[in-house]
């Protein structure tokens, strides 16, 4: 379980084979994440709908997805949870942690509350 989680996080870090660019936050607090639709769709009903053929928009063969109402810091924690299955909140302050939980609620990541 641990190894699987580690390898998925590696995949997220390397962004190899990624097919989605998620544009998170607003300038100046803005960041792009290169991710894998397969992983996201498998792990989250929200992304499963968002990345389905009915809704996606593509640029240069990459799916572009906007998420303006979240900070990159929060979104990265979410992504790591989505990929690795563990929620790592050490080193984050309380407002950030609250934002993570709010974001998880918005994205229907209900399992996160069990972690």
Q: Which residues bind another protein (CB under 8 A)?
A: 23, 26, 45-46, 49-50, 52, 54-55, 57, 65-69, 106, 108, 110
Comparing CB distances to another protein, the nearer of 67 and 80 is 67
Written in H, E and C, the secondary structure of the chain is CHHHHHHHHHHHHHCCCCCEEEEEEECCEEEEEEECHHHHHHHCHHHHHHCCCCCCCEECCEEEEEECCCCHHHHHHHHHHHHHCCCCCCCCCHHHHHHHHHHHHHCCCHHHHHC
User: Measured from the CB of residue 14, what is the shortest distance to another protein in angstroms?
Assistant: 26
User: Measured from the CB of residue 95, what is the shortest distance to another protein in angstroms?
Assistant: 18
Comparing CB distances to another protein, the nearer of 19 and 46 is 46
């Amino acid at each position: 379980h641990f190894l699987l989680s580690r390898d998925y996080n590696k995949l997220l870090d390397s962004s190899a084979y990624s097919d989605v660019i998620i544009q998170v936050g607003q300038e100046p607090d803005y960041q792009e994440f290169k991710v894998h639709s397969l992983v996201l769709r498998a792990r989250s009903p929200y992304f499963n709908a968002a990345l389905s053929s009915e809704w996606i928009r593509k640029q240069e063969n990459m799916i572009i997805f906007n998420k303006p109402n979240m900070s990159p810091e929060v979104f990265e924690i979410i992504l790591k949870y989505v990929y690795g299955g563990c929620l790592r909140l050490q080193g984050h302050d309380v407002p950030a942690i609250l934002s993570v939980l709010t974001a998880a609620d918005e994205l229907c990541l209900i399992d996160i509350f069990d972690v």
